[in-house]
Amino acid sequence: MHGDGETELAESTVGSGTELAESTVGSGTELAESTVGSGTELAESTIDGRTELAGSTVPTEWWADAVVYQVYVRSFADSDADGVGDLAGVRSRLGYLELLGVDALWLSPVYPSPGVDHGYDVSDPRDIDPLFGTLDDFDGLVADARRHGLRVIVDIVPNHTSDQHEWFRAAISAAPGSPERARYHFRSGDTPPNNWQSVFGGPAWSRVAPSDEWYLHLFSPGQPDLNWANPEVREDLEKTLRFWCDRGVDGVRIDVAHGMAKPDGLPDDRRQPGWTVLSEDTPDPRWDADDVHEVHRAIRSVLDRYPHRMAIGEVIVRDDERWAAYLRPDELHLAFHFGLLTSPFDAVELRTVIDGTLAAAGDVPAVWTIANHDNPRPATRYGSLDRARAMALVMLALPGTAYLYNGEELGLPDVDLPESVRVDPGGRDGCRVPMPWEGPGPGYGFTAGTPWLPLPASYGDLTAADQLEDPASTLSLYRYALELRKTHPAFRGREVEWFGAPAGCLAFRRVGSTLVCALNASERPVPLPPGDVLLTSGPLTDCGDLPANTAAWLA
Ligand code: GLC
């Protein structure tokens, strides 16, 4: 089918956008009836065992085609009116997640933390910050999630701790050369030990006092990097993993999974401007050191002792071969690739990243995502909500697993916040504004207090409650897409093959199945490929063509 599909595209006939909306999206209520109540069944049939991918006879672990929903806890739902989301808030909204149709939730860090990097600065990895609740609340959440047919993934941060972690506090009160300091990277000298920059800007080295040693922090000064050459550091991570697995979590998301190991001698970063030997291929010495794979083997050896537990890594490595090394059989089960997330809304570039991601993942399920708490939201990044909706259908048609970010299903845009309320050292506040659930501002059902970041009035038009009632809403689109993905027999096949498509468009089919996804990223309507339309991201034209900035599923 490669390259010969343009005639087929032109031959197709489909109904109008209105018919489509009526016939496939249906009303929120119908969807609700068809999906609610399935949680218990799901829990019984799959929570403790393997699932079978539609159409496959090979038993596959649950994560192979799961849709996972990232809950950025502080922005999800606030139960106690302090303006910050919490675990009880998440528990109160599990019915919504079941209704949406996701398989699992990934909780952003909820551990005790000063909050310099909003939880990614962990001061105790085996407890819950009072801001979010208690360990009992966590256990209750896991139990409730089970009842709703949802699995739970927690975020693990092995690269660094908070500067308020007892280890770091002990380190700064101890002498240079002490075992306490050997858990981190301390170095003496009048100037920083090398030229490394932190991800948030500025040198990656700080001192607690001018006369003291320097310590390494690849993120903020409040996030000192751990020394992974120290066996104590590994033992502590293993203890943390066992702690959460024993509490019943189904998986872990490994933060900065390409970090941890540091190259011998901490050599200068030669990619910095001013160096004479500058080349695109000059490696960044801060990341992807060979010894990092030892860490992933250690993580895997713990998880392998618990049935059906999964580790997914945030692996940011440019070279696909090096990236794939994190997915060797004794390392991570899954890894984010981020090609789709960082691709512009351009058919050629999207096709390249889709092929590249699938090729890099090989036999391991690919992980697709178009949104997370670190990047501008799709409706903003792609330039319009129409495009974001189209990209949702592209992502959810691809073989593998998909990760959604809370609010993506409402089509929320980023918020242009005034400097006075911004708090993130990485400047990512705009995509972290709390969820608008229902009713009037300023809290829109997120909080009865003052939200930690203000929700704009425009979020009042995008509440979950209103969108549930509207068959044309972005929430209804996601619900219908997830329902189809789960129940329609066309969603099978691990590879994609491409149709020829008009300039600026792409169309692919899941190999071994009838599902076709067509995206029009050009500026004018194009004919659809042949097949019955299952779902479109927006109305078709009066003559049944696919408008610009729209995607369709056909089978
Ligand atoms: C990851 C997280 C990001 C955090 C950083 C440091 O990239 O996604 O939010 O700032 O790690 O922990």
| One-letter-per-residue 3-state SS of 201-225 | CCECEEECCCCCCEEECCCCCCCCE
Residues 175, 147 share a domain:
no
Residues 81, 170 share a domain:
no
Of 2, 4, 1, 6, residue with least CA distance to 501: 6
* From 123, 219, 338, 373, mutation site for ligand 1 pocket: most ligand atoms within 8 A of C-beta: 219
Whether 314 sits among the annotated catalytic residues: the reply is yes
Residues 121, 174 share a domain:
no
pLDDT of res. 8: 35
Residue 302 in any domain: the answer is: yes
C-alpha dihedral, 68 to 404 to 481 to 538, nearest 10°: 180
374 lines ligand 1 (CB under 6 A): yes
pLDDT of res. 276: 66
Residues 338, 200 share a domain:
no
Residues 285, 183 share a domain:
no
Residues 155, 177 share a domain:
no
What is the spatial distance between Cα 523 and Cα 431, in angstroms, rounded to a whole number?
28
Alpha carbon 310 to chain centroid, angstroms:
15
Ligand 1, atom 3, residue with closest C-alpha: 374
Taking residues 141-148, what's their average pLDDT?
Answer: 98
pLDDT cut 90: percent of the chain above it: 86
Contacts of 36 (CB under 8 A, 6+ apart): 95, 98, 99
219 lines ligand 1 (CB under 6 A): yes
Bond into 442 cis (ω within 30):
yes
Residues 180, 154 share a domain:
no
Residue 312, strand partner residues = 253, 334
Report CA(106)–ligand 1 centroid distance (Å).
Answer: 14
Ligand 1: atom nearest CA of 372 is: 8
What are 255-281's pLDDT values in tens digits?
A: 999 999 999 999 999 887 766 665 667
Residues 255, 154 share a domain:
yes
Looking at 438, 463, 487, the residue that finishes a domain is 487
E strand or H helix at 151: strand 151-156
Whether 139 sits among the annotated catalytic residues: the reply is no
Asked whether 503 and 452 are in contact (CB, 8 A), the reply is no
314 lines ligand 1 (CB under 6 A): yes
Ligand 1, atom 12, residue with closest C-alpha: 120
> Under DSSP, is residue 499 helix (H, G, I), strand (E, B) or coil?
strand
Helix, strand, coil share of the chain (percent; to 5)? 35, 15, 55
What are 429-467's pLDDT values in tens digits?
A: 999 999 999 999 999 999 999 999 999 999 999 999 999
What is the spatial distance between Cα 451 and Cα 444, in angstroms, rounded to a whole number?
10
pLDDT of res. 250: 98
More confident residue, 148 or 2: 148
pLDDT cut 70: percent of the chain above it: 88
Residue 554 in any domain: the answer is: no
Residue 190 in any domain: the answer is: yes
405 lines ligand 1 (CB under 6 A): no
Q: 201: domain range?
A: 166-216
Residue 23 in any domain: the answer is: no
pLDDT of res. 25: 35
Looking at 487, 515, 549, the residue that finishes a domain is 487
Of the candidates 314, 408, 429, 545, the residue annotated as catalytic is 314
Residues 205, 342 share a domain:
no
| Res 161 pLDDT > 70 | yes
Tokens of 286: 């801060």
* From 256, 369, 431, mutation site for ligand 1 pocket: most ligand atoms within 8 A of C-beta: 256
Looking at 487, 511, 532, the residue that finishes a domain is 487
Ligand 1, atom 9, residue with closest C-alpha: 374
426 lines ligand 1 (CB under 6 A): yes
Tokens of 396: 């959810």
Ligand 1, atom 4, residue with closest C-alpha: 120
Residues 206, 98 share a domain:
no
Ligand 1: atom nearest CA of 117 is: 10
Query: Mutual orientation of helices 28-35 and 474-487 as an angle, nearest 10°?
Result: 40
82 lines ligand 1 (CB under 6 A): no
215 lines ligand 1 (CB under 6 A): no
pLDDT of res. 273: 74
User: What CATH number should be reported for the domain holding residue 152?
Assistant: 3.20.20.80
What is the spatial distance between Cα 404 and Cα 30, in angstroms, rounded to a whole number?
23
**E strands present in 157-259:** 186-187, 205-207, 214-216, 251-254
Say which DSSP state 413 is in. Answer: P
Rg, Å, the chain Cα set: 24
What is the spatial distance between Cα 27 and Cα 24, in angstroms, rounded to a whole number?
9
Residue 36 in any domain: the answer is: no
Ligand 1: atom nearest CA of 159 is: 12
414 lines ligand 1 (CB under 6 A): no
Q: How many domains does the chain have?
A: 2
167 lines ligand 1 (CB under 6 A): no
Residues 476, 380 share a domain:
yes
Of the candidates 137, 250, 255, 414, the residue annotated as catalytic is 255
More confident residue, 487 or 57: 487
What is the spatial distance between Cα 552 and Cα 555, in angstroms, rounded to a whole number?
10
